[in-house]
Structures are given as C-alpha cells and as structure tokens.
Amino acid sequence: MTKYGSFPGTRPRRLRTSPAMRRMVAETRLHPADFILPAFVREGVSEPVPIAAMPGVVQHTRDSLKKAAVEALEAGVSGIMLFGVPEDEKKDAVGTPGTDPDGILQIAIRDVRAEVGDELLVMSDLCLDETTDHGHCGVLDEQGRVDNDATLERYAEMAQVQADAGAHIVGPSGMMDGQIGVVRDALDQIGREDVAILAYTAKYSSAFYGPFREAVASSLRGDRKTYQQDPANVRESMRELALDLEEGADMVMVKPAGPYLDVLAKVAESVDVPVAAYQISGEYSMIEAAAEKGWIDRDKAILETLTGIKRAGAQNILTYWATEAAQKLGRQ
C-alpha cells in the first residue's frame, strides 16, 4: 500500500517491456505482399523525369518502368498500378490515347507483363483524366459538364484494350455512376472473365491530390466535385459500396487513405471482399517534406502511417513507398 492507494495489479506495460515482447503481441503486422506500387510512365522521354512535388518519385521511361517492376517483384510487393502520361499533342476531348492499343498505358502494360509475367500483378488505371485535353475523368457535354453515360462507353473501350494488353486487374477510378457494371460487361463480352476489377468505391474530392497533378501532367480545368465524393459524407460511401458490389466489383478501395481512416474502417467491417486503400501523393509529399526539414523521423513515419492504414482495415495499400517499405520489412 501507498498513501495514495494500492499499487496496480493489472499492468498493461508488462507487454511493452522489450522489442521482442512488443513484436510478439502486435495486433497488426505489415507484410510486403500488402503493398501495391503506383507508377507513372511518360511517353517520349529518354530519361526518368523527377516529380518535383514528390521527391523520389519519377515519370518513368519504358525501360526504367520495367526495372521498377522487377525491383518491386523482388521486394515481395504484390502488384504495380500503372498510369500512362501521353504527349500533350495526343490528348483530345475524348481521351483517344486511352483506347489506342498503341497508347502509352497499353504499351506499358505489355512491357511490364513481358518482364514479370504473372509473378507481379499488373494493374491499370482506367480513367480518362490523363488522356483528355481538359483533364476531366470523362467526356464533356455541350455545357462543359462531365457526361456520365457517354463516359461509360469510353470506359468500356478502355477496359477491353487494357485487358488485351495484359492487365490482370483494372481500376476504374472516375467515379461515374454504373462504371463497375459497364466495365464488367465489357470484359465479359470479349471473354476476359479472368480480369479482376478493383473498384475505386470511395474516392473523395481531396486537396491531397495536388502533387498527383504534376505526376500525370494534368490538363485539368475546374474541379471534380460533381463526380468525386464530398469529404463531409460517409453514408454516401456505403451507398457507393453497395452499388459497386452489386455490379460485380472483386475488390473495393478508399482513396485517400490517411484522412479517411474512419471510412476505411466502416467499409472493411461491411464487406467480405478484399479492401484496399490508396495513400495518395499529398500524404506522401507531406512526410517527405517534413522529413527533409528534420521535423520527423522519415522511416518511422512511413511505417507508422502504413500500419495505421492496415489497422483500419486495408488488406492492400497502394503507396509510393511500396518497394522501399517492403525492402525494410524484409530486413527486419
């Protein structure tokens, strides 16, 4: 006894006494297979182009992309999500490079598949924003608004050319109503029932996409608030989730990850399909910038944020640190 009362009989700190103890009782464990590497490939460049807003990330050449895919595979990463950046003069109102079999994204899919085969999942961004001269994720009508149903027709074509190029998984990311059902039908019509769909189920209109605009050389005019989700809403995400599953989504995703861990947890508790989260460019850039200033420990911050995303319910995490994080885990 002390003059302040009894000493505690239950001491949770006993399970925190050493690295070995903490490792044994850890409730959440990261594994290299949790990660998917987003990667950009730019048409018409002979050397990788650094992305100023995302230190350490580049717009790849075809050759450097293949090397990055092999490095990710060797680190134990599960997949690579490809984004194509066509030459500006090839962009047009309907995003023609997105459905051209010789568009940069389709070429990149074939390149990576030839390099890694089926050992690394080759995933493709299925959206028009990188290929349109106006930078929106869909076709515009006469009033300059995104035309949902005209866009769905373009997505169907994109799904088919990406599957033909060798994509294992397509990721419709434009937040058009009905996009999962249309993509599934388009794939099935060409006998590609084997190609899976990762649905960008809850993709929010976020300020954290800023650095991504540079990464894909975006031509965006205006904003995407009429089709991406309002950051204030959660029930809306659950409605989107129900629709995507009904339409045939094989996997679902929340994007961004860090600012929407509550949404991620709610989605993960509600489904029996794999759940992914995308740690986006702004999340990456903030940590890199703070670390460069000496304000935080970079390596610890990376693993802590990834652990938080997995703890919230993500089975897979798209992160620009995928290969690096996998290598660090492999050395532990």
Residue of 255, 266, 300, 328 marked catalytic: 255
Q: Residue with structure tokens 């000496």?
A: 294
The neighbouring-strand residues paired with 90 are none
Tokens of 28: 């959440």
Instruction: For residue 310, indicate whether it is catalytic.
Output: no
Tokens of 69: 């895919």
Q: Which helix (H) or strand (E) holds 289?
A: helix 281-292
Would you call 1 exposed, middle or buried from its count of C-beta atoms within 10 A (0-12, 13-18, 19+)? exposed
Coil, strand or helix at 185: helix
Instruction: For residue 300, indicate whether it is catalytic.
Output: no
The answer to whether 224 is annotated as binding is: yes
CA angle, 93 then 99 then 104, to 5°: 95
Measure CA of the first residue to CA of the last residue in the chain; give whole Å.
Answer: 43
The answer to whether 320 is annotated as binding is: yes
Report the C-alpha gap between 184 and 192 in whole angstroms.
9
Q: Which of 180, 227, 211 is nearest to 279 (CA)?
A: 211
The answer to whether 227 is annotated as binding is: no
How far, in Å, are 89, 127, 266 from residue 94 at the CA level?
13, 11, 36
The answer to whether 213 is annotated as binding is: yes
Would you call 52 exposed, middle or buried from its count of C-beta atoms within 10 A (0-12, 13-18, 19+)? exposed
Residue of 3, 90, 91, 203 marked catalytic: 203
The answer to whether 184 is annotated as binding is: no
Binding site for 5-aminolevulinate: which residues? Answer: 213, 224, 281, 320
Binding site for Mg(2+): which residues? Answer: 240
Binding site: which residues? Answer: 213, 224, 240, 281, 320
Active site members? 203, 255
